[in-house]
Amino acid sequence: GTVGSYEYCFGKRGMGWFGKKIGWIPLLGSLGIAIGYAIILGWVLRTLWGFVSGDLMTADPGAYFGAILGDFGSVPWHVAVIAITCAILVSGVSNGIEKANKILMPSFFVLFLGMAIWISFLPGSGAGYEFLFVPQWDKLLNIKTWIMAMGQAFFSLSISGSSMIVYGSYIKKDVDIPEASLRTAGFDTCAAMISALAIMPAVFAYGIGAGSGPVLVFLTLPKVFQQMPFGQFFAIIFFVAVLFAGITSLINLLEAPTEHLQENFTNSRKAASIITCVLSLVVGIFIESEPKVGAWMDFISVVIVPFGAVMGAATIYYILGWDELRKELEIGHGKMPEIFGLVGKYVYVPLTIIIMVLGLMYGGL
């Protein structure tokens, strides 16, 4: 688990007690993100139901979305998301998470790719491609743009010093870790690109302001689907895909605390999963209002997650050491060049520290 891994690394320096204490930071970061993330997925589930029932095809998206933004506003949907996630977690990584991902992730790619192709034929969609691909140099030269981009990469790739440790413990010894890492980053980028190609051209084709974050997903896009031929059908496809992708991420985030409970407090996978999910739900219910969950996610993403990522990188290169890391990497990859370790130790780790500090200065990653 996460805490045990930090204890092991620092134990190499006779400081296992210290590693055991700081290992809780990235673990709590994963749980904290999961708590807020489950609330947002509850909003996604309710929006999906709005299109399945047909109510959202005629209702004002602002009023429909606003109805669940207050305190305890989305409890039933929140509970449903946690229940689905818990059912998969109980089955474990191999039986539940891996099998679910084998279905959910290919479905995500197929659904979004189909939408992207169809939307490309809409009149006015070209403005969306310009928005995506024509450089805005004033923004590219703004340091905050790069900080935000790196923060998104931290979140999207689960570089938080916790989740990767858990999933890494399940991979076979002969897996080529550098190659697998490149594939992971590549597929993640492809997913983001396909999503953008499915969303932004449609937004511009129907002359609706793009917006960002919750505004884009829960206000702008429903307006697009309301105007689009077969909009209800495409809306259902879209929000099913978003829900699929979101649940896989939520499973990822909750796996670390679940495994810690299983290893240290109970041998039962089922009990550990239920405890983790109930804890997430109980805390989340009290921050369901949009301002509260926004402040919660800002704190976790600004402080905890970046610190966990930096702490993980520093622990690997400075505490565990390049020699130990190289032995593990070379099992499946073969000879690792010395430059890899030098870049990691003297470029990557200092760069992540700089990014974290700048992120705090500029309002978060």
User: What integer pLDDT is reported at residue 210 of this predicted model?
Assistant: 63
Any domain includes 10: yes
Any domain includes 122: yes
| Residue 38 contacts residue 79 (beta carbons within 8 Å) | no
| Residue 340 contacts residue 182 (beta carbons within 8 Å) | no
User: What integer pLDDT is reported at residue 95 of this predicted model?
Assistant: 62
How far apart CA 302 and CA 29 sit, in angstroms, is: 11
End-to-end CA distance of the chain: 26
User: What integer pLDDT is reported at residue 145 of this predicted model?
Assistant: 78
Any domain includes 361: no
Q: How many domains does the chain have?
A: 1
User: What integer pLDDT is reported at residue 299 of this predicted model?
Assistant: 79
How far apart CA 87 and CA 270 sit, in angstroms, is: 9
User: What integer pLDDT is reported at residue 300 of this predicted model?
Assistant: 79
CA R_g for the chain: 21
How far apart CA 101 and CA 41 sit, in angstroms, is: 17
Any domain includes 236: yes
Residues spanned by the domain of 84 = 2-137+170-298
Cα 333 to chain centroid distance, Å, stands at 27
Q: Measured between alpha carbons, how far is residue 242 from residues 12, 41, 135, 300 in Å?
A: 43, 9, 27, 22
User: What integer pLDDT is reported at residue 45 of this predicted model?
Assistant: 94
User: What integer pLDDT is reported at residue 42 of this predicted model?
Assistant: 94
SS3 per-residue string spanning 268-289: CHHHHHHHHHHHHHHHHHCCCC
| Residue 33 contacts residue 301 (beta carbons within 8 Å) | yes
Which token pair is 358? 């700048």
pLDDT mean for each 10 residues of the chain (365 residues): 84 88 86 91 93 91 82 88 89 64 73 82 88 87 77 74 71 83 87 85 77 70 83 86 84 85 82 92 90 83 77 88 86 84 89 78 62
Q: Which residues contact 300 (CB under 8 A, 6 or more apart)?
A: 29, 32, 33, 36
Any domain includes 358: no
How far apart CA 38 and CA 289 sit, in angstroms, is: 13
Any domain includes 291: yes
- What pTM, to 2 d.p., does this model score? 0.82
Any domain includes 349: no
Any domain includes 154: no
Q: What are phi and psi of 27, to 5 degrees?
A: -65, -45
| Residue 228 contacts residue 198 (beta carbons within 8 Å) | no
- Average pLDDT taken over every residue of the chain: 83
How far apart CA 152 and CA 195 sit, in angstroms, is: 15
> CA 190, 192, 193, 195 torsion: positive or negative?
positive
User: What integer pLDDT is reported at residue 160 of this predicted model?
Assistant: 66
User: What integer pLDDT is reported at residue 71 of this predicted model?
Assistant: 79
Q: Measured between alpha carbons, how far is residue 234 from residues 64, 191, 197, 297 in Å?
A: 19, 18, 14, 30
User: What integer pLDDT is reported at residue 74 of this predicted model?
Assistant: 86
Please report how many Cα atoms fall inside a 13 Å half-sphere around the Cα of residue 250, on the Cβ side.
Answer: 31
How far apart CA 83 and CA 121 sit, in angstroms, is: 39
